[in-house]
Amino acid sequence: MSQRQSFFRKVSYFVTIAILLVPLSWLSRPATSASEQQPGDPGGHLAQLRSEHQLSQANLGQIDPTSETLKLATLGFRGVAVAILWTKVDEYKKHEDWARLESTLQQIMTLMPNFVHVWRYQAWNVSYNVSVEFDDYRDRYHYVKQGLKLLVKGAAYNAKEPNLLADIGWFTTQKIGRSDEKSEFRRLFADDTDFHEYLSNYIDLDQTRGPNENKPDSWLAGRMWYLKAEKLVDDNEHITVGGVSPALFYEHSAKCQINFADTIQKDGFFGEVAERAWRRSAKLWKQYGDRTLELNDGRTFSLNDVRAKLQEIGELSEQLDALQPGLRLQMRAERTKDVPPDLLTAKKIKPDQRSALERDLAERAERLILVSPKDLAEQMDDSVRGEALAIADVMGQQARLLRKIQSDRGIVNYDAWAFRCLTEQSEHLLKGRQRLHEANVQYKKGRLDSDDPNRPGAQQLFEAGFRSWAAAFKEYPALYYDEHRCEDLLVAVDSYRRRVLDGGPLPKDFSLAELLRRSAKEPTRRRGSKKMTPKTGKTPEKTEQTTGKDAKTKPAKKDPAGK
Amino acid sequence: MEYVTTPPDFFPWLRESGLTFLLVVVGLAKISILFGYLVTAVRRGPVAALSITSKAIAGGVVDLVRISPRRVMALAWLAIKESIGRRVLVVFVIYALVLMFAGLILDPTLRETGRLYVGFVLNAMLYLMLALAWILSAFSLPNDLKQRTIYTIVTKPVRPSEIVLGRMIGFSAVGSMLLAVMALFSFLFVVRSLRHTHAVEAGSQTSLVTGHRHVIDKNQVGEEGGTTDRAHSHSHHVDDPSRGEMTGPSQGELIARVPIHGTLQFTDDKGQPKEKGTNVGKEWTYRSYIKGGSLAAATWRFSDVRAEDFCDAEGKTDSLPITMNLRVFRLHKGTIDRGVLGSIVLRNPDDPDLVSGMITFRAKEFQLDEIDIPRHLLSGKPGPDGRPMRLDLFDDLVSESGELDVQIQCEESQQYFGMAQEDVYLRSRDGSFAMNFIKGCLGIWLQMVIVLSLGVMFSTFLSGPVTMIATLGALVTGMFAGKISALVAGEYLGGGPIEAFVRIVTQRNLVSPLEVGMATTLIEMFDKAILFILWVILKLLPDFQSYSNIDQVAIGFNIPGMLSLQHLLSALAYLSVAMVVGLFFLRTREVAR
């Protein structure tokens, strides 16, 4: 190739590049903001796409010059650098080199500040996995905080990521409030004025103060972070809760208040303080139930919509029946003919007199006889069939929505928590809990028995507490089906028997005899508690299975304390 | 993680290493001469080849023997001027920028800031100096040869050995000057960055500075003053906490501990000697554990224990400082707000009846637990009168040969203590941190000089870019010598390079064996050949990691002077070989004759 050809080839390359730069420049021209004199320009197509998908750095969150510089310094090998650093973090963790681990984590975050999963994963790593490596609980608390701070920093870099805020709420509440060292962690958190000062840059600490000398409480602090996450989603149309169900995403803030109320009682705060906390819990739980939640298809609902939906479906059903009166009955009669006799026999037995097998058979019979709105509409005369099908279609949609609501209520255990908030405000329960707490305190002081009515001993307090609980059971019989609370109470009864009665039998007129009787009937459902017979309070040799009748009337199947 | 390199005894090391060095040098010389003779024999015939080879060897030897220091220095000066002309001072500007913006990367609120800062500056210096050495040495001679400026030198009465040595010395001088300035600035940067004081608040704690505060224990800090607790790896002096003044500057962060290590022996829960303690399921098996509330114990035997090594400023030895860095593994929570109870017993290895009483302690994990064992203590066994005897630690418990046994046990049932040999040591008087920092810089300097020499050596027979690749290859291989030697020793799963490649392509795991057959036999054969070549390369190239004492300086352990001397000698060995090889290769270049 001659020099001339080579020269022309190079020139052609430059010309091609220059020509290609023109459309590229046009496509990617930046947006300009509007001023009083002239309207803003949305920019080129690429700028508009960035804006639409919230991809620009300013949209994602804080712009950090260090981060940007380091990203550039890796010359496009940012991913490789992070991968190497990530393996180093694992190595440092294995070799218990915490100083380097923390330092390397910061380098990773600087290089990849907008990769949300990196923040979430490594914050969890520090708060949950690194912290437990330490023997001293103060060191553990330090690393729980380090993980939290990592998340807070991540939330600043990713200002539109509600799950990071929710994670901060989770760490603050669950790691501090539920771990093995929860009492130590909660005490450290309440006294950690430096951390309070740090948190006050992000949340209103005055709203987190609990009854313990008006110091911030971890449950309430966590609640503030959840509220921030909720506000972020509520205020921004484009921001969604991600892969989490809306019912689960929004439950935490109210749940924090419930856990706060529960915890302060364990910490020894009763009376008006506890009652107020439970009242607020009930109010927030109700507000949560009333909150409008959105499905992926844009339809909205609230957990408290069950009654309204049932009524709506009932009205539609009446409208459908009114189009051709008597058709449904006629169809049911025809279908009844095809139902096997043993199923029909079971169906004829009164519901409350059916055995478990009969109940099953009766339900099968009902399913065979049932006429769905669509079936009904299809069998109607031509003149009304169109309208009937339209109504049946609406009914189908409403029924699906109702099932979704009921499913979500089941997932978050809505009824059980509502029941808990209601009953815990009861004077009997408040007093019952207080007496049992005081009984334990007196026992630890060695004051088992006392004749002084003003300064009762552990025995008097235990018995007074059990009487209050018995009154609460009378006021709310459904409490018998609250496994969690019954179990706690059984532990208290066991403690009373061992500590006060020296392991002897419980008195014949024991106020919680009914609870013990039921406990002996269904001991397998109790988590780790000892099973006692009502008469002796000793472990029974044989147990009975839970009857279907009992199960049917239970308000909830799940342990309310479970997540 | 705490670790420290203990140097081997000097004279045995010198004897063994010197012998190996001589064997390798003689072997390489023989191979080179034979190779040179064969090549020449093919081209000129066997008789002429004999004469040419002899002349080449004789000429090289004469070159070496008749080196003129004056001419070498003149050439070194030329190399210095050339380096400055090539703007090597830019490296210093880059380093200044790194220090200026270090605050953006280094987080002073982390717990071990001293370690992070010292590690950062030393690593930054290391990588910059290695990069400088790499670039500076690779292009000098090839450029001179290419641009024919070498004629301005070779037309003068200089020997090839002087050209090679002059360049090595000249470039090293430039690098040394830069390193010295950088080291000075680094030292000042670290000391000034870490130096801070706190205000005393309410007499019981200090103000919050760089993410931490200190607790002042009033029982320990009276009106006459004392020190705060140790937080973030340092403490402060407080004059009188009730006056609410400022604390003194931070102390105990930039240190150079001088540890005296012993050899560790485990005994199991029945009191029988055991090579290792219990494995509690940790992935990293560096430490093993002893069971609490049993006869299980860890005993360190210390040698050469002398009272004068532990004396105070007045020359008196009232105690023996023992530093521990134990791990705790609990089978149950126990008392959460209290460390697990442990005990120390000191024993004379020669006389089992000379044993101290039990000294108890609460284990502190991930921090240095320093215990001063008083010199005068009661015996653990009754004396002739049935009462405990008064013992002098150094006179009674240290044997005549200077040995002392220190036994540690965990006293709480169902709890465990974890330890490795380096976790317990006697702490002699601390060395100077500044001196230790200089020793750390010496390690960097040695690595830089080796890279420079290798670069100059390669540049005598390779072009500039190829020299760069060859030097970089030697550098990278040397830096990963540990990992490569583990690969050669078969410590990695998945076989050698070819087998690993086959496993990646065929998506097989690392554990399952390949199918028996011709293909597998061939793969293993090639792998063995490659690994043998790697082994030879490893033996010839310097292990750069072994020269680096950065971690030791950063963690706060004194680098023994003997270790620095050993590094210096081994580096000199590489330099001499590089120079001789460079000389012979340069002699083969027509321009240098």
- Record: contact A98-B337, CB cut-off 8 A: no
Residue-by-residue DSSP string for A163-201: HHHHHHHHIIIIIHHHSTTHHHHHHHHHH-HHHHHHHTT
B101 contacts in chain A (CB < 8 Å): 66, 69
| B399-451 pLDDT, tens digit each | 999 999 999 999 999 999 999 999 999 999 899 999 999 999 999 999 999 99
Read off the DSSP letter of residue A352: G
Please indicate if any CB of chain B lies within 8 Å of the CB of A98: yes
A103 contacts in chain B (CB < 8 Å): 106-107, 110, 116
| B472-507 pLDDT, tens digit each | 999 998 888 888 888 999 888 888 899 999 999 999
Look at residue A449 and give its three-state secondary structure: coil
Please indicate if any CB of chain B lies within 8 Å of the CB of A96: yes
Give the nearest chain B residue to A181 (CA atoms).
B336
- Record: contact A103-B116, CB cut-off 8 A: yes
Please indicate if any CB of chain A lies within 8 Å of the CB of B11: no
The reported pLDDT for the residue numbered B410 is 96
Please indicate if any CB of chain A lies within 8 Å of the CB of B442: no
- Contact B367/B2 with Cβ under 8 angstroms? no
Statement: residue B585 has pLDDT above 90: no
The model carries a pTM of: 0.82
Please indicate if any CB of chain A lies within 8 Å of the CB of B239: no
- Residue A536: how many other CB atoms lie within 10 Å: 13
What residue type is assigned to position A526 of the chain? R
What would the two tokens of residue A419 be?
A: 């029941």
The reported pLDDT for the residue numbered A46 is 80
Averaged confidence pLDDT in chain B = 89
- Contact A295/A407 with Cβ under 8 angstroms? no
Q: Is A188 exposed, middle or buried (0-12, 13-18, 19+ CB in 10 A)?
A: buried
A184 contacts in chain B (CB < 8 Å): 336-337
What does the H/E/C string look like for B367-379? CCEEEEEECEEEE
Residue-by-residue DSSP string for A394-413: HHHHHHHHHHHHHHHHHHTT
B298 Cβ contact partners less than 8 Å away, ≥ 6 residues apart: B264, B265, B266, B267, B277, B290, B407, B408, B409, B417, B419, B424
- Record: contact B284-A66, CB cut-off 8 A: no
Please indicate if any CB of chain B lies within 8 Å of the CB of A510: no
A107 contacts in chain B (CB < 8 Å): 105
Higher pLDDT, B37 or A535: B37
The reported pLDDT for the residue numbered A1 is 56
Please state, in angstroms and rounded to a whole number, the distance separating the CA atoms of residues B493 and B481. 18
B348 Cβ contact partners less than 8 Å away, ≥ 6 residues apart: B354, B355, B396, B397, B398, B399, B404, B405
- Contact B280/B324 with Cβ under 8 angstroms? no
Per-residue pLDDT of chain A (563 residues), as tens digits, is 567 888 899 899 999 998 998 888 888 777 665 555 566 677 778 877 776 766 666 556 566 666 777 777 777 888 999 999 999 999 999 999 998 899 899 889 988 888 899 999 999 999 999 999 999 999 999 999 999 999 999 999 898 899 999 999 999 999 999 999 999 999 999 999 999 999 999 999 999 999 999 999 999 999 999 999 999 999 988 888 878 889 999 999 999 999 999 999 999 999 999 999 999 999 999 999 999 998 878 889 999 999 999 999 999 999 999 999 999 999 999 999 989 999 989 988 988 888 889 999 999 999 999 999 999 999 999 999 999 999 999 999 999 999 999 999 999 999 999 999 999 999 999 999 999 999 999 999 988 888 888 889 999 999 999 999 999 999 999 999 998 899 999 999 999 999 888 888 898 889 999 999 988 876 544 444 444 444 444 443 333 333 333 333 333 433 433 33
A96, A110, A137 ranked by CB distance to B336: nearest: A137
CA distance A125 to chain B (A): 16
Please indicate if any CB of chain A lies within 8 Å of the CB of B104: yes
Please state, in angstroms and rounded to a whole number, the distance separating the CA atoms of residues A89 and A122. 9
Count CB pairs under 8 A between chains A and B. 58
- Contact B540/B581 with Cβ under 8 angstroms? no
Please indicate if any CB of chain B lies within 8 Å of the CB of A290: no
Please indicate if any CB of chain B lies within 8 Å of the CB of A195: no
At A26, give phi and psi (nearest 5°): -65, -40
The reported pLDDT for the residue numbered A450 is 82
- Contact B149/B139 with Cβ under 8 angstroms? no
ipTM, two decimals, is: 0.83
Please indicate if any CB of chain B lies within 8 Å of the CB of A134: yes
b/e per residue B113-142 (b: at least 16 CB within 10 A): bbbbbbbbbbebbbebbbbbbbbbbbbbbb
Q: What is the dihedral of CA A274, A279, A284, A288, to 10 degrees?
A: 120
Please indicate if any CB of chain B lies within 8 Å of the CB of A141: no
A106, A133, A194 ranked by CB distance to B107: nearest: A106
Residues 364-403 on B with a CB inside 8 Å of A are: 364-366
| B333-383 pLDDT, tens digit each | 888 889 999 999 999 999 988 999 999 999 988 888 889 999 999 999 888
| B116-174 pLDDT, tens digit each | 899 999 999 999 999 999 988 888 888 887 777 777 777 778 888 888 899 999 999 99
Q: Is the dihedral of CA A437, A443, A445, A451 positive or negative?
A: positive
Please state, in angstroms and rounded to a whole number, the distance separating the CA atoms of residues A23 and B169. 57
Range from A272-276, B68-72, B131-135, B385-389 that averages highest in pLDDT: A272-276
The reported pLDDT for the residue numbered A541 is 38
A98, A102, A106 ranked by CB distance to B366: nearest: A98
- Record: contact B365-A135, CB cut-off 8 A: yes
Residue A189: half-sphere exposure toward Cβ, Cα within 13 Å: 32
Give the nearest chain A residue to B111 (CA atoms).
A99
Look at residue B297 and give its three-state secondary structure: strand
Strands B288-291 and B415-419: antiparallel
The reported pLDDT for the residue numbered B150 is 77
- Record: contact B104-A66, CB cut-off 8 A: yes
- Record: contact A135-B286, CB cut-off 8 A: no
A70 contacts in chain B (CB < 8 Å): 105
- Record: contact A95-B366, CB cut-off 8 A: no
The reported pLDDT for the residue numbered A536 is 46
Which residue in B361, B366, B354, B481 sits closest to B412, CA to CA?
A: B361
